[in-house]
Each structure stands twice: as C-alpha cells, then as structure tokens.
Amino acid sequence: MKNPTKAPTGIAGLDEMTDGGLPRGRTTLLVGGAGSGKTILALQFLVHGAQACKEPGIFVSFEETPKRIVANAAGFGWKLGELQRKRLFFLDAQPLPDSIQAGNFDLSGMLAVLEAKSGKLQARRIVFDALDIVLALLPDAAAIRREMYRLHSWLLAHELTGLITLKSDASAVSQPFGFMQFMVDCAVILNHSVVLGVSQRNMRVQKYRGSGFHENESPFLIGKNGFDVAGARTVGRVGAKAVNERVSTGVKRLDTMLGGGYYRASSVLITGFAGTAKTTLSGAFAEAACRRGERTVFISFDSDANEVIRNLASVGIRLDRYVRNGCLRMVSAGSIVGSAETYLVGIKAMVKEHRARCLVIDPVSALSKAGNELTAHGVAERLIDWSKAGGTTLVCTRLLDETSGQFEGNSSLQVSTLADTWIHLNYLVQAGERNRGLSIIKSRGTAHSNQVRELVLSSAGVTLADAYTAGGEVLMGALRWQKENAERHANEITEVAGKHKRVMLDAEAAELEVRIKSLQVELLAKQVEMTLLTRSAESRKGELSHGRSRMRELRGADPALRGRK
Amino acid sequence: MSRRVFKFRLYVAGDAQNSVDAIANLTTICRKYLPGLYDIEVMDVFLEPARALTDGIFMTPTLVKLAPAPVRRIIGNLSRTSLVLQALGLEGSAA
C-alpha cells in the first residue's frame, strides 16, 4: 500500500479508507466533538510518522499542555519520551490567560517559530490541535479566514503534511468551518454517540481531493494501542485463498454428512432455540480442534467458562485438560463490555494473542443486544471476513427466539447469509416426545446430506442417530427406538429360521451318508459271496477230474486211454 | 512625582501589516503619554525564532511591558488605545 502521495497514519482502518493515508504535503482537517478522539488520532499520526516512516513531526497544542498530552497517551505504548528527543516536538501554543488583546493580530509569530523548528528537526508532519481555540480570539470571520489561509499556504510552501483538528461544536468554528472544508484537501469527521447506553464511535472521510476513498462511516475504538478503525470491507478479502482442507466437527457422523467436516477457515453458524445443544455442538468442535493440537479460543457470552466446561463434560466433551495444557482458552464474555465494535476488537485481540486457529463464539447473537442493533451486522460481517483472512475457522451459535419464529428475518444480525455452513438445530415433537433434530441448511462448496437427523447426547458423547423414515417423516426418540427394535427382532427371526433349516439339512445329509455306508457294506458282502461261489465251483470241478484219474489208476487202466474220455 | 521609565519589548513578524501598525501605534501612545520615559525594543520573530519560542510568542504582534512590574502582555496591533492604556495602568493620564 505504498503510495508516494500518501502519508500513512498507521491506523489500519483509516489507511484503508483513504487508500494509503492522508495526502502528503497537503492539509487535512479533522473535525469532531469533545472527547471524540481527535487529539489521540492526531498524535498517533505523528508517532507513526516518526517511528515507521522516518518523518519527524511537530505537535502544536492550543488547548492542553504537552505534558498532559504525553501523560494521557502514556497508556498506548508509543514511547513518546524517546521520540521526543529526536523526532517529535511539542509546541505549547496555548494563549496565555492573562494576556490582553488590543487589536488585530496574526499567527506569523507561531509560523516563524515553527519554521525554525521544522528546519532543525527536518519535520515532515505537523499537527495543529484544537486550532479553534486560537481562532476564537480573532475578532471576525474575515480575520479567521485570513489566518487560515496564512497557515494553509505556509504548510503548502513547506510541503508539510498537516493535520488540523477542530471541535465541531465550537461556536467560533461553525461559520468558517464550511470554508475550511473547501480549503483543505482532505476532511475526516469523528462522531461519538450513545445509542441506548452503548457508546458508538464512528469515523468518516468526508472529502479527499485527487483520491478515491471509502465514503461510509466506519466504526472505531480507542483501544490499547490507540485507534482501531473497523476499516472498509473488501480489502481484507483480497488474498484470502480458498482452502480445501477439512476440519472435524467433533461429531463423526456429522463429518460424514458434510462430506468430511467443515472447511478450514470457513465460518459456521449453528442456530437453534434454547437448549437444542448449540453449545454442545460447538464444544465438540473445540474439543476436536484441541485434540488435533490446534489452539482454540472459546468465547461464551451466556454462561461462565467453568460452567460451560462442567456442562460439556456431562456429555463426554472434556475441555478441562485442554484448558490446563494451554491449548484452549475459555473466555467468559463478561470480561468484555461495550459496543459490538468493542467485542470485535476484544475478540480479535484474544485470537491474536492466543494464536488461535479455531474460534467459537457462543452465541454470536450477543453482539446485537440492545444498543448495537445497527452495528451488529457490520461487526459480524467483519468478524467473518477477518477470520477468513486469517485462516481461522469460526463456529458461532445463534439463539433463535421461540416466540419470533424460526428465522431471523427481522433481526439486524443476519449471519446466516454470511456463514459458509449453516446447521440448524430444532426440537421435533412427535408421538409425545421432544427430540433434537439436526439439519444442514447450507454448506457452501460441499455435497451435504439433506436429511434431518436426530442428535443424541449421552455421557458417552455426541452422535447422530441413524435415520429412519416412516410415512415421509424421520423417526426420532422412542419411535426410532421402536423401529430399531422391530428391525432387530425381524433379523433374529430370520436368523433362527436359517439355523433351523441348516440343522435339518445336516440331518438329512447324515442319514444319506449312513445309508450309503450300509449299502457299501452290503455290496462288499455280495462281492465276497460271489468270489466264494466261483472258488467252490472250480474246486469241485478239479476234484471231479482228479478223482477220475485216481480211480483209473486204481483200476490199472491203460494210461494211453487217459487221453480219451 | 517621579516618573518611572517604561521598558517595552515588541515582538513583530517582519513587515506584516499588523506588526507595522503596532510599531506605529505604540510609538504614538508613548510619545503622547510617556514622553521621554519609554524604551522600546523591537524583536522580529522571523529573525529570532528561537527567542520567540522561549518567550512563548505565537501571536504577533505582541507587546510585553517588562518594567515597571508587573510584566504585562498585550496582543494585537494596539489599535484600541483605551485597552492599551488600561493594560499599562495609564488610564488616568488619558485626560
């Protein structure tokens, strides 16, 4: 974002809005009511120049002593003491209270002093804080105009990047204010209002000659390190690359429904009425993240962090060990108070500090509570953009009001359109029972199940039950159990019948085998009988012939006759 | 009645109109009300900015009455004579 014609303020959001910073070598007007943060912004502009841009600066103070300004800014960690030695000069130009005014005067004296000082310091930036104080001493509008021109042309001649702050409600300024806006090249307006008891600060770039800028009001905070401006949208989006990696939801069967889990760096919204296990589902996600060793921040607006841990332990989600080993940071949001903007800044700071990859906000609807209705949507938008740009996977829950119906139509916080995945939990009343149903309303870039599933919580953990449908309705609770039981019963019957059949067949086979055996034995006997029969016949024949020759021998018959029969 | 000598330092910004007027106005007043009893030192902030810084002079012209005590600062081109006389404690002499 380096641009030679811009002098960066070091306030990320403002530099975004102005596309790089204030006009270099030109004059910018900063207008705001009392306590709107003009002095801090102006000082931060100088500090950033001196620290990061090698641009020494001069702070001309008309309203407060430099000592007080330095003391007031001590909390921001800007090392003003160190800077003051070389790169930052405070000029106490408060009009002396006891001086008498007798006739026209001008600011040449101050410019002469500044000229000498800026030459010595090689100053590139200069702030005139609360110029209205000195303008009020001038006798008429013409004199004011003359002195403004004198100052402006002096700044231009020295190519100093000037920042003039004015109180918007100072009566001395109201009339020449208009002409001053024409004179300067850039005008920024700070606005501080209280809506339903919640402080809301806004910043708006009113004009910027020769440069594009974001014209909308942008909320800001005065935080730990000075200004924190919400900044324009879109800018953070550039460079955030789409990731294909999946992260587990903590519920195995939900992962399957989503085709592998949530996308990393996506934003997930879990909606539901009170008690539909939104916290449980987000807790499961946190536990899974910690199990993977990913640092996680869990922000609970509704209840105390320890209570959340205890409650989740009852459904088998054990977060305490991850809190102990430092992987998980549980935050009770009572520790953040103020506007939605404050929450966002607080959340950002915590995630950054914890180096978290996963973030749970339970519920995000807390952002839109009284006084924040108008800003909550913008904050949520930026929260999602920001987490996406940083690669943080965001799971937030949102409580639906049972009385106002299922959709958040009239609410300012329409996260559902922004979230990548929207899981809706509700109670299904069926056959005198109330059961938790889970459905995935949308999940960008994922083929996901369209079925309403029953969410079952038990001490063993969270899971989704098998889906049974009957007559076009998903069965849950006892009905599902009945169906499951009937199915089991039927299975058993078939199984028993099969077994019975097998036994019968076995018996038949055995019987056949026995018969085969006895036949074989019978056959063998017959064969033996047959051989015996043959043998006895032969022996009888042999006996017969043998007997005849013996007889012949006995009779002394002629052997020659032996041949004849 | 012993007349005290008035010591003035007038800070001017080069030849800016208000500064030129201030010199003229102061001289006129002194000649009329403090004849021979005044001492004016004119200091140009453009020539001595460091001095202007230490003296805290940011609006020009500025007249500082160093003596007699108390020290008084009067800002402007001194065109409003009655205010100047009042500040210098000379209103009685106006008549």
Tens of pLDDT, residue by residue over A153-204, are: 898 898 889 999 888 765 544 555 667 777 888 888 888 877 666 677 888 8
What pLDDT does residue A518 have?
94
Give the mean pLDDT of A413-422. 75
Inter-chain touch A108–B83, beta carbons under 8 Å: no
Say whether A113 and B80 touch across the interface (CB within 8 A).
no
**Residue B95 placed within a domain:** no
How many Å lie between the alpha carbon of A9 and the closest alpha carbon of chain B? Answer: 28
Residue B29 domain flag: yes
- The alpha-carbon gap from B79 to the nearest alpha carbon of chain A, in Å, equals 5
**B79 and A102 in contact by Cβ < 8 A?**
yes
**CATH at residue B25:** 3.40.30.10
- The lowest-confidence range among A135-149, A217-231, A375-389, A514-528 is A217-231
Nearest chain B residue to A115 by CA distance is B49
Does some domain include residue B37?
A: yes
Name the most confidently modeled range: A3-7, A438-442, A472-476, A533-537. Answer: A533-537
Query: B55 lies in a domain?
Result: yes
What is the DSSP secondary structure assignment for residue A406, as one 8-state letter?
Answer: S
Q: Based on the structure, what is the number of domains in chain B? A: 1
Rounded to 5 degrees, what angle do the CA atoms A60, A66, A68 make? 140
- Answer yes or no: is B93 within a domain: no
pLDDT at A459 over 50: yes
Which secondary-structure segment (H or E) carries A117? helix A108-121
| A127 compared with A140, residue with greater pLDDT | A127
- Report the alpha-carbon distance of residue A129 to residue A464 in Å, rounded: 63
CA dist A296 and A309 (Å) reads 14
Out of A95, A101, A115, name the one closest to residue B49 (CB).
A115
Does B1 map to a domain? Answer: no
Whole-angstrom CA distances from A457 to A253, A355, A461, A526 are: 13, 31, 6, 78
**Mutation test of the interface with chain B: which of A99, A126, A150, choosing the one with the most B Cβ atoms within 10 A?**
A99
pLDDT band at residue A366, thresholds of 50, 70 and 90? confident
With beta carbons under 8 A apart, name residues in chain A contacting B80. Answer: 102-103
pLDDT at residue A560 in the model: 57
The ipTM, to two decimals, is 0.86
End-to-end CA distance of chain A: 142
Residue A365: partners with Cβ closer than 8 Å, 6 or more residues away: A397, A398, A399, A413
Q: Which two tokens stand for residue A109?
A: 């004296």
For residue A165, which of A59, A317, A71 has the smallest C-alpha distance? A59
The domains of chain A, with CATH numbers, are 6-232 (3.40.50.300), 246-467 (3.40.50.300)
Residues of chain A contacting residue B58, judged by C-beta atoms under 8 Å apart? 93, 107, 109-110, 113, 134
C-alpha angle with apex A88: A87 to A91, nearest 5 degrees?
145
Rounded Cα distance, B49 and A515, in Å: 134
Cβ distance of A106 and B80 shorter than 8 Å: no
Q: What is the full per-residue pLDDT of chain B (95 aa) written as tens digits?
A: 456 788 999 999 888 888 999 999 999 988 888 888 889 999 998 888 888 888 888 888 999 988 888 888 898 888 888 888 888 887 765 44
User: A264 falls in which pLDDT band (50, 70, 90)?
Assistant: confident
Residue from A350, A368, A369 nearest A360 by CA: A350
Condensed to tens digits (0 to 9), the pLDDT of residues A304-362 reads 888 888 988 888 888 888 999 889 988 887 655 667 777 777 788 788 888 888 999 88
User: Considering only CB atoms, which chain B residues are within 8 Å of A103?
Assistant: 18, 21-22, 25, 76-80, 83
**Domain that includes residue B36, residue range:** 6-88
